[in-house]
Amino acid sequence: MSDIPPVDPTLHRLRADLPRLTADLAELVAVESPSEDPRATAASADAVTALGSRLLGSAPERHGAHLVWSHGATRVLLIGHHDTVWPVGTLARWPFRVDGDRATGPGCFDMKAGLVQLFHALSLRPSLDGVTVVVNGDEEIGSPDSRVLIERVARGARAALICEPSADGALKTARKGIARYRLEISGRAAHAGLDPGRGVNAAVELAHQILAVAGLGDGETTVTPTVLAGGSTENTVPAAAGVAVDVRAYHQAEFERVDRAMQGLRPVLAGSRLTVHGGVHRPALPPTASARLYELARTVAAELGLAAPAGVAVGGASDGNLTAGYGIPTLDGLGPVGGNAHAEGEWVDLPAMAERAALLAALVDRVLRPRA
């Protein structure tokens, strides 16, 4: 008698369906969807609607570029997004391709393969009662419009399963939160050649402030000046300047510390003025929010005959930060295995798509039908 355990039937079926999963991925990647292009995200939402409706057997509620499949009161919430960081026209020079076990193309890893896995995993369920799916079209820019929708449908959920890409196969058990600020400097214009002394140089004041802000980082907490703007003409002392500031932290106390420092900034140059706008944009996803679901994922992976996934903390944020902030147990990184997110050569491990879909299907089943 063989000592090799039988392959789980769900995993076996998904492996057999891998050509279909690959074809579905190709169809989604073929529709470009940069977040801030309404026509592109509308077309992409059409493509996701077609795929989800075929595999789930029902059409979604549509809220602009955001899609919701609801099946009664939410007990388990699955979240993904179809927008990408790639501008329209990228496909012309970098089309979807398959090379052996790898697929490449703009947005394939972050995160259209995750959507394919999500829909195929749910298609195997005899009933979707209690399952809600949200696929939004603005995650890459912070979910400014869809976060209200996510909060509404998340109420009462036992778990939120986020189908964002994995971290080299690992699940994302913690994520830093994000705070965003805008620092605006007001000075006084003057002719740079005839009368520079009459001016108050907003750019110089901004330089002082950028050095102060950049020094606020502390260990894991990062404080990064990003987009700068200032001045009007090359021969005028700048009357205005500004900078955006990105803050990432794992703990609320760190956000509070940085906020106090930002609000406490004072001008260095006489006659200059500064204002600070902003605050926490997405709360952190702490390890406590994912701990139970992570252990459950390792258990069901073993039951499927798969290697137990590792868990890692990452600096990027997702919609999982939002659900964790609502107090919902949240596990992230359940999407594809691959790499180079937001970079040339973005790729997906195709055979792993079947395994990750099977893991997701098993997780949904255990959340809906917990064992004693």
Q: Give tens-digit pLDDT for 245-297.
A: 999 999 999 999 999 999 999 999 999 999 999 999 999 999 999 999 999 99
Of 17, 24, 32, 83, catalytic: 83
Per-residue pLDDT of the chain (372 residues; tens, 9 = 90+): 445 556 789 999 999 999 999 999 999 999 999 999 999 999 999 999 999 999 999 999 999 999 999 999 999 999 999 999 999 999 999 999 999 999 999 999 999 999 999 999 999 999 999 999 999 999 999 999 999 999 999 999 999 999 999 999 999 999 999 999 999 999 999 999 999 999 999 999 999 999 999 999 998 999 999 999 999 999 999 999 999 999 999 999 999 999 999 999 999 999 999 999 999 999 999 999 999 999 999 999 999 999 999 999 999 999 999 999 999 999 999 999 999 999 999 999 999 999 999 999 999 999 999 875
139 is catalytic: yes
**Beta pairing, strands 311-314 & 171-175:** parallel
Other Cβ atoms within 10 Å of 160 Cβ, number? 30
Model pLDDT, residue 7? 72
Can you read off the two tokens belonging to residue 48?
Answer: 């996701």
Of 17, 110, 139, 332, catalytic: 139
205 is catalytic: no
Could you give the domains of the chain?
Answer: 9-176+284-368 (3.40.630.10), 184-282 (3.30.70.360)
pTM check: above 0.85: yes
